[in-house]
Homo-oligomer: A and B are copies of this chain.
Amino acid sequence: MIERTGYVPNLLAKGLSENRTNIVAAIVPTISHSIFADVLSGLSDALEVRNHRLLISNSGYCLEREETLLGELLAQRPAGIVLIGQDHTQQTVDMLRRAGVPVVELLEIDKQPVDMCVGFSNYQAVYQLTRGLIARGYRNIGFIAAPFEANDRVRRRHAGYADAMAEAKLRTEPGWHRVAGFSYKEGARAFGELIREHDEVEVVVTNDLLAVAGILECQRHGVRVPDDLAICGFEDMEITAMLHPPLTTVRIRRYEIGRLAGQLILDRLAGAETAQDTIDVGFELIWRQSTR
């Protein structure tokens, strides 16, 4: 009958009347990185179950942009808010507090969340990874990272690396640290420079995308992995297992993080008391043949 008459309910009116929508707003640095795309997939699938929709904006790795976007998104009266990381402007935090809806911060859990958070400790992940490398006999350990600004996850990872190195009293040359944008080209450049200028480096800690570029760049230059240079990624992209050699990396459950975030929001909306404000989904060190 409804489909015959072509009647379409108006959720704007419903939302206005009920003072509650079925829209969850998510702000991510970019939609185009597999890590965020996967998180959003999980989030979308979880929300779907209770007929909630996902409104997505990208901040382009800019906290001021995140703040502006949040202000505009709040006008949509979202039923919940999802952000990446735990680093936000004070204004952002204030708005989140006043919003009066569930807020979930994803992919980092080292700070007390504004409301709730789902993720893992980037610090612990790379701290453990670095300790594992040291235990395997590596001494000269380099670090190639995405830009630090507006990216607390990378900053925490670097802190984990630095602390593990300091504890083991290992030196770290400034030249062993590189910043590379999130692209294969940038990765190839950074690895190329490192290989040329610092062949004393035995292993590089970085993220999966840059690590893949690194392995390919090593192949190009005849640098043997892991004998001449070992490489560790971070994320566990599917391709890493198929490379030659397969990549040592840190597995993080991206889809699951998104899914849990959606569930937390739905539970809260259903009136459930939140058992815990922080969900640590952990990480897993995957030792493969790109390290000895």
Listed in ascending order, the chain A residues whose CB lies under 8 Å from chain B are 3, 6, 8-13, 15-16, 21, 23, 30-34, 37-38, 40-41, 44-45, 48, 51, 53-58, 71-77, 91, 98, 183-185, 188, 212-213, 216-217, 219-220, 238-239, 241-244, 255
Q: Given the complex, which residues of B lie within 8 Å of A239, measured CB to CB?
A: 184, 212-213, 216, 239
Q: Given the complex, which residues of B lie within 8 Å of A48, measured CB to CB?
A: 57
Neighbour of A56 across the interface among B38, B54, B244, CB < 8 A: B54
Interchain CB contact under 8 A, A216 and B242: yes
Known contacts A216-B244, A244-B219; decide if A40 and B51 are in contact (CB<8 Å).
no
Interchain CB contact under 8 A, A55 and B58: no
Interchain CB contact under 8 A, A53 and B31: no
Interchain CB contact under 8 A, B10 and A16: yes
Known contacts A216-B243, A244-B220; decide if A238 and B183 are in contact (CB<8 Å).
yes
Distance between Cα atoms of A76 and B40 in the complex (Å): 20
Interchain CB contact under 8 A, B34 and A41: no
Interchain CB contact under 8 A, B54 and A41: no
Distance between Cα atoms of A40 and B188 in the complex (Å): 27
Copies in the complex: 2
Distance between Cα atoms of A37 and B30 in the complex (Å): 9
Distance between Cα atoms of A30 and B42 in the complex (Å): 11
Known contacts A74-B8, A76-B11, A183-B238; decide if A34 and B31 are in contact (CB<8 Å).
no
Interchain CB contact under 8 A, A77 and B12: yes
Known contacts A12-B15, A55-B23, A76-B12; decide if A98 and B44 are in contact (CB<8 Å).
no
Q: Given the complex, which residues of B lie within 8 Å of A212, measured CB to CB?
A: 239
Known contacts A53-B55, A55-B23; decide if A75 and B10 are in contact (CB<8 Å).
yes
Q: Given the complex, which residues of B lie within 8 Å of A11, measured CB to CB?
A: 75-77
Known contacts A15-B12, A57-B44; decide if A6 and B37 are in contact (CB<8 Å).
no
Name the distance in Å between A245's Cβ and chain B's nearest Cβ.
11
Neighbour of A242 across the interface among B74, B184, B242, B255, CB < 8 A: B184
